[in-house]
Structures are given as C-alpha cells and as structure tokens.
Chain A
C-alpha cells in the first residue's frame, strides 16, 4: 500500500503541475470560499461570546407598578440603594421614557403620544452595578422588591446582536453556498482535464489489469490536494489575521474575544476537512461522468 500511495501522490502532483494554471485558480477559489466560511464562523463565535458577556455587563432597568404613590416610589429607591453591589440608581420617569421612544422612532413620522392616546410606559429605575458580573444576582434581588413590576437588563442590545449575527450567518451562508458550488465546479473541471490528459494512461491501465480503485485514486488525491491546499491557504490567512486582531483588541479593556487555542484549532481543522470534502465532491462528479472504467 505504501508504494501505491507514493505512486498515487506522484501522479496527482504531476497532473497538477501539468494543468498548473487551472490548479491555481481552483486552489484560490477554494481558499476564498474557506476564508469567508472561517470569517463567518469566527464572527459568530465572537458574537455569541460577546452576547453572554453583555448580558451580565449591562445596566438593569426595573419598571415600577403604575399606581405607585410618590412615597412608595421613594421607598423602592431606598431599597434599591440598599442592595449590596449597586453603584448608582437613576430615576427614569415615564415621560422621559416616552421621549426616548419617540426619538428612536424618528420625530416626524409618528406622534406617539397622539397615536397611543396616553403614555403606556411605566416609571423606572436604571441601576448600575459596581461589578458587571453581579448583574444577574442584583436583578434577582430587585425582582423581590414590592412595587417593582418587571426587571430587564441589556435585552435590547443583546437582541440587536442576535439579529446582527443572524444576518452575518444568512449572508455568509449564501456566499458560502455559491462559492462552494463554484469551488466544486472548478475542482470537477480540473479533474476532468486531468482525466482527459491521462486518457491513454487510463486505457492502458485498464487493459494491463489495474483495479478500478487503482485508476481512481490519483484523481481523488488530486482533488483532495486541491481542496486541502485551498483550505490551508485560507487558514493561514485567517490565523494570521485573527491573531493580529486579537493582539490589537486585547489592549482594549472589557472587549471580549474568543482566544481559546483548542477551540480555534477545532475550527481550523474543521475547515481543512471541509476543503478536502469539496475536493472529494468535485472529483466524484467528474469521475462519474468522464472516467470510463
């Protein structure tokens, strides 16, 4: 088997050298495809990492019951300030809240107050924690206070991030599907050309008594090499780019990035596997259609 492997690789490499321009174009396409896939995966990983961090980092909004008297409201404020770990407490009146809402909708389009008839929003307190990590704990305690109807923290930003990552995923999926098809097509074309330029060899091999797989292997190896080479180039670019990015971001405090070595290694080896799979698929298509054994 070893001697055969040497033979298969030699034949595959010779064939790639013979059609070097097409091989180069194929490897480049695979590389671009894998690069975009890798960037999308890293972006998604970082976004979900960021989301988990943000969920605990943000300020807490505690909405009050509508029919609270001013005295009761003050009592709530005192209780809030009494909670351990609370840094600051700010009152946000329902009018202020409506103004914010009005601004976020754009002032000219709707007059929210008119549309809604009256202001449906409750008064609220905006609480900041000394240590962002304690936000969930503090939020839990706030929920226990009489007069507080609902507690939320960081939902909006987190939701926006979710939405953003969803779009990143959808867009990159479209790109990846198109580019994968392109890569598979180019690999298939390269292999088809390889079959064509080796048709005399293939015919002789058959008549001399090569097994079907002996004839096929060099082509599969060529396809796998094309796919893997493209993936490796993409990973090199990705790794260098991402390392530089991490290096420059980590000097900014509180900016969370995924820098877990084993996780990155898993992502990179997964990408190599995908490159090789593209190669196998492209080869399979051409072998089925053009290799007559």
Chain B
C-alpha cells in the first residue's frame, strides 16, 4: 500500500475538518477525491505531504508513519511525491525550463541530470519548444502542464493534485485529465481532488466521496455514474 489513513481526524479550533477517516490507496491507482466545498479534500491532501498533521489517527506513506516521523525525514518522503496546485504556483520570473529545473535544483540534483531530465518531462506534457517562455506568456492549460512537469521532474511515486483543473475551461480540463491518465498508465500513482463531475465520469476511475469530513462512499473504477 502506498497511502494508508487509519482513523484520521483533524480538528481545527473552529471545528472538525476530518472525522475518523480510513483510506487505502495502492501503488498504480488513480483516485479522485470528490465532495462539496468544505468536505475535507484539501485537508486530506495536505496531510499526505505533511503540511498538516492529524489531530488523531495514523498516516503511512510507503509504510512510513508520517505521525511518528522525525522532522529531518520529512524531505525524504516529500521527494517521493509531486504536487500540482490549482493556482499552478509557477515562479513568474523563471522560464518554463527554469521552473521545472528548480524542482531538481532544490533537492540537489546535478546539472547534468537536470539537463537530461527537464526536456524529457517537458515533452511528456507536450510543451517542447516552450522552454524559454515565461509563465505569463502561456495559457492556463499550458501553465498547468508546466506545473505537472515540475511535479514529475523528480520521478515521484505519487502525484497529488488539488483541483488541478479548477482554474481551467472544460477543454483544457479534459486535456489535463488525459495527460494525468497517461502519466498514471506509465506507473505513477495519482490522487486528484476535484469538483468536476463530468471529468470524473469521463475518467472511469476510483472515486472517494467525502462529506462533512467523512468518507461517504468509495466507488471502484466504473462504479461512479451519478
């Protein structure tokens, strides 16, 4: 199992965000986190890369407990994950190439590896030839492709995306979804939070439905038809 949540609760001073969540995700899966606003999708995602810690319960990533983990070991776990954001979080002053290279630089990759890997991921997301463009010169869909390329740069086991299509129109959203499905087919596990029913229906993947901080339903691939 790649991701395991055991009876995880998250209580903020204002109230419960997650209430006794248990969840397992295997290597190679593609899982949608669905649910209305405030259901707890982002909270789950933040816990996976340990931006937040649970109030109660246990979380394991690749059989390592995030709860008992020492501070020094957190970067090691994060290096196995790629994160994609709704608002892309690209660095405006860096080119497309530099934005992707940045992810490798900051984990200490050699310049030689960077030079080999960046063009590889850029063509994987269909952005060959845009190396020297700045994010401001790209469409939203293209910007998110840069975001995905950056998340893939360090060859993560797990790609986590919190509403990656939230800022995109339906055509661009479909393209991003197909890109993610493609990446998943090559072996990367993907967890994606979204509101978009059309997208989820089209993908025919596992869907975890959250409501008020609880798992309301867990649909196997193809089961989610509503």
The 5 closest A-B pairs by CB, nearest first: A209-B78, A209-B79, A209-B75, A210-B106, A205-B106
Contact of A7 among B51, B71, B83, B105 (CB under 8 A): B105
CA distance A9 to B37 in the complex (A): 44
Contact A208 B78, CB 8 Å, known A200-B89, A200-B91:
yes
Residues of A within 8 A of B49 (CB): 207
Interface check B103, CB cutoff 8 A: yes
Q: Which of A4, A200, A209, A212 has the most CB of B within 10 A?
A: A209
Report which B residues bind A (CB closer than 8 A).
Answer: 49, 51, 71-72, 75-79, 81, 83, 89, 91, 102-103, 105-108, 110-111, 154
Nearest-neighbour CB distance to chain A for B73, whole angstroms, equals 10
Contact A3 B110 (CB under 8 A): yes
- Identify 17 new A-B residue pairs, CB closer than 8 A, beyond the known A203-B89, A206-B78: A3-B108, A200-B89, A200-B91, A204-B89, A204-B102, A204-B103, A204-B106, A207-B51, A207-B83, A208-B78, A208-B83, A208-B103, A209-B79, A210-B106, A210-B107, A211-B75, A214-B106
Docked pose: A207 CA to B51 CA in angstroms: 8
Which of A201, A207, A210 contacts B91 (CB under 8 A)?
A201
Of chain A, the residue at the smallest CB distance from B80 is A209
Bound-complex Cα distance A207 to B89 (A) = 12
Closest to B51 in A: A207
* A interface residues with partner B (beta carbon < 8 Å): 3-4, 7, 200-201, 203-212, 214
Smallest beta-carbon distance A222→chain B, Å: 16
Q: Identify the closest chain A residue to B49 (Cβ).
A: A207
B102 surroundings in chain A (CB, below 8 A): 201, 204
User: Are B154 and A208 touching (Cβ within 8 A)?
Assistant: yes
Pick the contact of B107 from A200, A201, A209 — CB < 8 Å?
A: A209
A241 to B139, CA, bound (A): 60
